[in-house]
Structure 1
Amino acid sequence: MTIEVKVAQAKTHLSQLLSKVEAGEDVIISRGNEPIARLVRIDGRSERIAAIEALRMERKRHKPVTSEEILEFRDEGRRWK
């Protein structure tokens, strides 16, 4: 379902509008009779999957990391060694 509001209403009722967006509704904000913006829920799952895939592709371009390197990374900058 889509809700249409004017800019002044959006400013006054932003928290309520965001709750409706979280529930799956779209909100269109208009200045006068002209729509200027739309609030929609971000699909966080697909963004996380895309980020994980990007990291996997980047890792394929480099050699595998050894256990010794991981320990060196962990200990880097520590005062004791």
Structure 2
Amino acid sequence: MKSVPIVEAKAHFSALLAEVEAGKEIAVTRHGKVIARLVPDYPRKAAEAFRDFWSDANEIDLVAHEDLPAEDVPSLDD
């Protein structure tokens, strides 16, 4: 990942965005510390968001439990 000081980022913002659009990730720094990241925008799927949780399927109970029986609901006339 490319790192760029904030002063340089401000001066070359359009060029940095072109790099991000091409797929690169850029860290923006202040005094050597990362304060922001410029990353390409892409649609994420739920599977990607939860991939880390599913990495060890042996630890997760993936079996659906039986539904409870339906309960009687009082009518509005009562």
TM-score tier by shorter-chain length is: 0.5 to 0.7
TM-score, normalisation: structure 2: 0.54
Cα RMSD after superposing both structures: 1.6
| Count of residues in correspondence between the two structures | 46
C-alpha offsets along residues 14-69 of structure 1, whole Å, 9 cap, x if unaligned?
000000000000010000111000000100xx26x88xxxxxxxxxxxxxxxxxxx
1:35 equivalent to 2:50? Answer no
Identity of aligned residues (%): 39
1:20 equivalent to 2:33? Answer no
The ranges of structure 1 where at least 4 consecutive aligned residues each deviate by more than 2 angstroms after the TM superposition are none
**Greater share of helix:** 1
Q: Counterparts of 2:11 and 2:25 in 1: how far apart (Å)?
A: 17
Q: Work out which of the two has the higher radius of gyration on C-alpha atoms and give 1 or 2.
A: 2
Structure 2, unaligned runs of 5 or more: 47-78
TM-score, normalisation: structure 1: 0.52
